[in-house]
Amino acid sequence: MTRISKKEFARRRQWLMEHMEPDSIAIVPSAKEIIRNRDVEYAFRQDSDFYYLTGFDEADAVLILLPGREHGEYVMFCRERDPKMELWNGYRAGPEGLCKSYGTNDAFPIGDIDDILPGLLEGRERVYYAMGRHAEFDQKVMSWVNVIRGKVRSGAHPPGEFVDLDHILHDMRLFKSAAELKVMREAAKISCRAHRRAMQFCQADIHEYQLEAEYIHEFMRAGARQPAYNSIVGGGKNGCILHYTENADLLKGGDLVLVDAGCELDYYGADITRTFPVNGKFNTEQKALYQLVLKAQLAAIAEIRPGNHWNQPHDMTVKVICEGLLKLGLLKGELEELIEKESYKEFYMHRAGHWLGMDVHDVGDYKVGDEWRVLEVGMVLTIEPGIYVAADNKKVAKKWRGIGIRIEDNIVVTRKGHEVLTEDAPKTVAAIEKQMRSKKVVR
């Protein structure tokens, strides 16, 4: 069972229903199982919206919320129990299990949904649904509505309006409760431990995926079943590929390795990047660029407090990185012009961060109307500036080429300012080199 209590799941459903217009219905489908190759499926991961509202982790389920319904507002469809299928593929709660253990008021077999759902839609004015996310399910929703439309002459009342469910639900998910923050703190702690472990086990002439193994080991050992996203382990110039996940090359002494890896614990992710020297010691150029990224990151984190807006930390990273690249001679010209013309994008081409939560790139709007969103207590975000000098960048001196650095931490907006969840992963040059001196040997 999850660290989030049943009461909290119930509170979320209640809050959502209170914010829906009168006479409406919400429909939220679960994730589906996806085939990897013949008879083999990808590890199942429940849809975050569905899980947020139910705590139920099976495929082939649909959540229906019907505020004000006399026979119960919380309805689910799910797979029926089936001893034979369960023998082969694992336990199912079944409709009875949902009512017993998940607080569902009414649960039905998923096979009966076409017969039952039109009846639940009848008389409801609005349908809250995330249209456009699952083409197949969109069609089903329309087909259920059309059943009622086909009966108008017999007095049926079809819904007249579709409302985007994401708008309310994702705003709720953006603000983390005390219980959610507790889980995220734990996910961050485990992930930091994994980075510390990897720094100790890192050595030249092992494959990038062998370093990745140290992360997976620590995640699982600590109780996090899987990473929150595919880990990025890029040695040398591979560190300049933003979403590098092959992790198949040999690590070379003298190179840096960039590792972007975090675990998922009870559906909440950590998202941490550390960049460290394969042989435990930064060289002059690596150190110069590293310290610049760190300076930008610290300056950006200092911008996080209630009342500041979403883009302030990003603007700060741009300013510090531009100033630094000018000083080091990788950029030439006037600071203001370089910023205005976005010349820095040759080296720093992504944004400073994103919301973090159940999804690594979590939900929530970044702008309200035309204005950047103002930071509020309970929001969680990453700050992750980087500098990436392409190996074939002939405009800069050779000594800089092929260096890729990113430093990423997870931060909660608090009343006093912020809390960095990921402080336990060494980040200064001195702390990293010290951690790497306490070596462990890969057998």
Catalytic residues: 39, 243, 260, 271, 350, 354, 361, 384, 388, 406, 408
Please choose, from the candidates 207, 230, 205, 227, the residue with its C-alpha nearest in 3D space to the C-alpha of residue 218. Answer: 227
Pick between residue 227 and residue 324 the one whose CB is nearest to Mn ion: 227
- Residues 6 or more apart from 129 whose CB is under 8 A from it? 26, 27, 28, 141, 162, 163, 164, 165
Pick between residue 198 and residue 396 the one whose CB is nearest to Mn ion: 198
Question: How many residues are present in the chain?
Answer: 443
Q: How far is the CB of 360 from ligand GLY (least distance, A)?
A: 6
Interface of this chain with ligand GLY, residues 332 to 391, rule: CB under 6 A: 354, 360, 384
- Report the residue from 271, 303, 359, 409 that binds ligand GLY according to the rule CB under 6 A: 271
Q: Residue 405 burial by CB count (10 A; 0-12/13-18/19+): exposed, middle or buried? A: buried
Q: How far is the CB of 384 from ligand GLY (least distance, A)?
A: 6
Do β-strands 263-265 and 268-269 pair in parallel, antiparallel, or remain unpaired?
A: antiparallel
Q: If binding means CB under 5 A, how many residues of this protein chain bind Mn ion?
A: 4
Residues 395-414 vs ligand GLY: string with x where CB under 6 A? -------------x------
Pick between residue 233 and residue 278 the one whose CB is nearest to ligand GLY: 233
409 binds Mn ion (CB under 5 A): no
Which of Mn ion, ligand GLY, none sits in contact with 362, Cβ below 5 to 8 A by type? none
260 binds ligand GLY (CB under 6 A): yes
What secondary structure letter does DSSP report for 329?
Answer: T
> Alpha-carbon distance 436 to 198, whole Å?
9
CB 208 within 8 A of CB 238: yes
> Which residue shows structure tokens 């456009």?
132
Q: How far is the CB of 383 from ligand GLY (least distance, A)?
A: 10
CB 262 within 8 A of CB 272: yes
Residues 285-314 vs ligand GLY: string with x where CB under 6 A? ------------------------------
Token reading at 266:
């009870």
382 binds Mn ion (CB under 5 A): yes
Interface of this chain with Mn ion, residues 239 to 268, rule: CB under 5 A: 260
> Alpha-carbon distance 209 to 271, whole Å?
18
229 binds ligand GLY (CB under 6 A): yes
Q: How far is the CB of 139 from ligand GLY (least distance, A)?
A: 32
Pick between residue 108 and residue 388 the one whose CB is nearest to ligand GLY: 388
Please choose, from the candidates 126, 128, 137, the residue with its C-alpha nearest in 3D space to the C-alpha of residue 167. Answer: 128
Q: How far is the CB of 376 from ligand GLY (least distance, A)?
A: 22
Q: 131-134 — which CB contacts under 8 Å span 24+ positions?
A: 131/162, 131/164, 134/29
Query: Dihedral of the CA atoms 140, 142, 147, 153 (nearest 10)?
Result: 180
Interface of this chain with Mn ion, residues 160 to 199, rule: CB under 5 A: none
Which of ligand GLY, Mn ion, none sits in contact with 229, Cβ below 5 to 8 A by type? ligand GLY
Neighbour-count burial for 176-192, b at 16+ CB within 10 Å, e otherwise: beeebbebbbbbbbbbb
CB 72 within 8 A of CB 105: yes
Q: How far is the CB of 41 from ligand GLY (least distance, A)?
A: 24
Pick between residue 10 and residue 242 the one whose CB is nearest to ligand GLY: 242
User: Would you call 3 helix, strand, or coil by DSSP?
Assistant: coil
Contacting residues toward Mn ion, per CB under 5 A: 260, 271, 382, 408
Contacting residues toward ligand GLY, per CB under 6 A: 229, 260, 271, 354, 360, 384, 408
